[in-house]
Chain A
Amino acid sequence: MRVYGERILMKFLLVMFLITLIGPVLANTIGTVRYLEVIAAHPRMLKFDFDAHRFSDGPSAQISLKELQEKGQLLAARLQELNSSSAAGIAGLEKKLSVSATKKSKAETDFWAEKEKLDNEIEAVRNEIAANIAAMEFGGRTIETTILPELSQIIADVSAAVTNAAAARNCTMVLNETLPVTLITETDNWIEEGYSSHFRSGNSSDDSVLKRWVSYAGRIVPRLSAGANLLKPVITGSVDLTADAIKLLTQPARKGGVSKK
């Protein structure tokens, strides 16, 4: 009787163990999203200049050389002014060091507080000068770092929209449905054309294009970068969240979407 009880207990424990392992997997609802389409739907992307690789307004916008030169002169003058203030601060402290101990103490504290403020200002002006010089070297195109805050905001907005769309559809996992070719401009035109006109439209009646695609694919793969993904993942029973995420992203701010700038 005791042996029988132990066997029942063992089977029970084994079943429980398997349930805890498999349970989370079975409970997952998988969502898919085409991130590039969601990013393209962001209101700020309407202001993105694909030739200059910068936004047409805001801190990353292209600046004319004349404006850059004028700004450079102003910044140089400002830096000289700050450096003079810094030197004057040291000279001022030197004078006060010969006075009484209590005044020395106050002069010392004031000097370091002022120096900290000046040092921060000098560093900010130097950074601006470096950015200005870089922009002049590239014919008025601003340095890459000026675009990063806006890119971070776009990605944050997109992530929030996808997360909210996934939560609304009870998805515990979201997969990125990648494009079949890498996004580089040097790609042979016919690859994109073939993909767009044939595969994307779902037209499989023209066998010649399909055969051509397959025969060339083996040769093309090694030439593509590591980011290329010719094999689109096959996901069955998943929920496409792209439209939901775009809707959330483009709706007015009062409804939880991003504001248009």
Chain B
Amino acid sequence: MVLKLLLIIAILMQPALLLACDPNFQPEEIFTQLINPSLSPGIILLAANLVLLPDMSLPESWESVTVTDSGRNSGELDTQLFRVLLSALGSLADKLRENLAGRVIINVSPVVFRASRDGLQSGAWQTLVLQFSLPVRGKIVIYNPGGKIEFIDEIDSTLNFSLTSAWPPVLFKHFRVWSRHGMIFAWPEEDLQVSEGVVTAQ
């Protein structure tokens, strides 16, 4: 009876088993989800990035905050969030100046959540990769009342996360957080060292 059940299970699971053991397996996307939250978490990243810039003074109030968003019609909540965060964080960091004005155009793209299966480079076993991206860019102009520009730049604060596990997901292998400027956090730690080595070599 047990053998019969095992045989039936083997027949039913055969396509999945063959696929899981295929050494020539090509990367396969399981799903990609674009999420448009009413309040974009990317705004927090951009505000934090601005406050953490060294030798940077920030205006007490922003003359213009424009949010351009490919996924939604209104960015009013994001605008308010940016103003509140800059005011609070700037105050904490003692970077607010009265005699400055600021304009910003924030480009918020939908949050990307993606899952894919891939073969390891060694070909030993397949992996499940979960990726999460918070894309946000800000075009910043900070100037004094006379019109002299104190700071002008486009800041890309996009943050990416990836979690790699075995397939089926019973064992986690890597967790990485990186921005446009390189790796911020990597588990296990040797990943971070390799990444730093690559950056140094470049």
Residues of A within 8 A of B (CB): 6, 9-10, 13-14, 16-17, 20-21, 90, 93-95, 97-98, 101, 104-105, 108-109, 112, 115
Contact = CB atoms under 8 A, between A and B. Distances in A.
In this complex, the interface size class of chain B, counting residues with CB under 8 Å from chain A, is: 20 to 34
Nearest to A112: B139
A20 B105 contact: no
B181 interface: no
B11 interface: yes
A104 B64 contact: yes
A231 B106 CA distance: 61
Nearest to B10: A17
B138 to A, nearest CB: 11
B193 interface: no
A8 to B, nearest CB: 12
30 contacts: A6-B4, A9-B4, A13-B8, A16-B11, A17-B7, A17-B10, A17-B11, A20-B14, A90-B152, A93-B141, A93-B152, A94-B143, A94-B147, A97-B101, A97-B141, A97-B149, A98-B146, A98-B147, A101-B63, A101-B64, A104-B63, A104-B64, A104-B103, A105-B64, A108-B103, A108-B105, A109-B105, A112-B105, A112-B154, A115-B154
Interface of B: 3-4, 7-8, 10-11, 14, 63-64, 101, 103, 105, 139, 141, 143, 146-149, 152, 154
B10 A93 contact: no
Q: Which 7 A-B pairs have the closest CB atoms?
A: A98-B147, A97-B147, A94-B147, A112-B139, A13-B7, A94-B149, A17-B11
Contact of A17 (B14, B64, B141): B14
A93 B152 CA distance: 11
Contacts of A90: 149, 152
Given A94-B143, A95-B147, A104-B63, 6 more contacts: A13-B7, A17-B10, A17-B14, A93-B152, A104-B64, A108-B64
